[in-house]
């Protein structure tokens, strides 16, 4: 119970916490964009996702970014717009929860190391 968590694990938890919180905020911000700007911003985010997914290490992050861009751009379409908005919201909240849990673990293990 009083064992120290390895430094590598604590650093990983901190990175996951920051990534989850930042990703959740970004997805909720993308959900807030409506109309023609959603199409433009979604296209830009999708192109960035394609560019990032070129390297093998960043392929997963690039595909997630591509998906977020496509969902943002799809919000302008009448039939799929509601579903795309719902998916963006659920994904954003899920990332915020995941980031919060990892932040809690990070703080708990960081205090243990002090």
| Spans of all domains in the chain | 7-113
Q: What is the pLDDT of residues 35-70, one digit of tens each?
A: 899 999 999 999 999 998 888 888 888 898 999 999
CA angle 62, 83, 86 (to 5 degrees): 75
Instruction: Tell me what the mean pLDDT of segment 83-89 comes to.
Output: 91
- Which tokens in the block code for residue 48? 């960035």
Q: What is the pLDDT of residues 61-84, one digit of tens each?
A: 889 899 999 999 998 888 888 899
């Amino acid at each position: 119970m009083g064992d120290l968590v390895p430094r590598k694990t604590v650093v990983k938890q901190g990175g996951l916490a920051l990534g989850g919180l930042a990703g959740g905020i970004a997805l909720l911000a993308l959900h807030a964009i409506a109309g023609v700007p959603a199409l433009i911003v979604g296209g830009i985010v999708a192109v960035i996702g394609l560019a990032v997914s070129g390297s093998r290490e960043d392929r997963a992050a690039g595909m997630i970014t591509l998906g977020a861009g496509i969902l943002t751009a799809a919000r302008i379409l009448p039939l799929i717009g509601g579903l795309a908005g719902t998916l963006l919201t659920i994904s954003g909240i899920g990332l915020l929860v995941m980031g919060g849990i990892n932040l809690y673990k990070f703080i708990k293990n960081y205090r243990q190391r002090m």
